[in-house]
Homo-oligomer: A and B are copies of this chain.
């Protein structure tokens, strides 16, 4: 589990002679209800200023950064993330639980179905009300959330959070949870139709009160890269 994080008393002493070279921190998101939640773990050091922190560890052996991040996420959540990407390196003077000189942040997601956590050493916090975190990890969380939302246009993140078959309403709800804002139904489906990303199946959802919904599956087709116009979105 998290025994890899050194809970040694040497952590609390600021005058460490051998600070770890660099840590890998993972911001793991999951849809919880209608909002996003991020995974935090209890601070390794009981004397820590903040009771919670982000899952972190350092690279072991010949691991790639991605592999390390996956291992950290799996160790904290119990399952492998279904999507993971690097956010960037953080090495300002802000405090980090491991006192690493440099930390590489990763953003990852897991489906909601695996919400159950085995231990009480980890908990989901709504992104709207995150716990108090070590300063560097706080800035990492903000950057990860922004990275998640900007990369949604280019990576099928929402699809990785859904089962192989899903309704278009479920897909739209997932987009709304991830983006944190409501979307227009007709526009969403029109754009989805334009991009050839999904194909209908013969299955229909029978449960529920209203009209049955058709199930779709993720089946992207190659299409020529549409050169967008210049966007002046500065400020």
List chain A positions with a Cβ less than 8 A from chain B: 21-22, 59, 62, 64-65, 86-89, 91-93, 101-102, 104, 152-156, 175, 179, 181, 183, 187-188, 191-192, 194-195, 197, 220-223, 226-227, 229-235
Contact = CB atoms under 8 A, between A and B. Distances in A.
A233 B153 contact: yes
Interface centre among A104, A229, A234 (most CB of B within 10 A): A234
How many subunits of this chain does the assembly comprise? 2
A87 B87 CA distance: 9
B102 A22 contact: yes
Contact of A220 (B101, B220, B235): B235
Given A22-B22, A92-B64, A191 B232 contact: yes
30 contacts: A21-B21, A21-B22, A21-B101, A21-B102, A59-B91, A59-B101, A62-B93, A65-B89, A65-B91, A65-B92, A86-B88, A87-B88, A89-B104, A91-B104, A102-B102, A102-B104, A153-B230, A153-B232, A153-B233, A181-B227, A187-B230, A188-B230, A191-B230, A191-B231, A195-B233, A197-B232, A197-B235, A221-B235, A223-B235, A226-B233
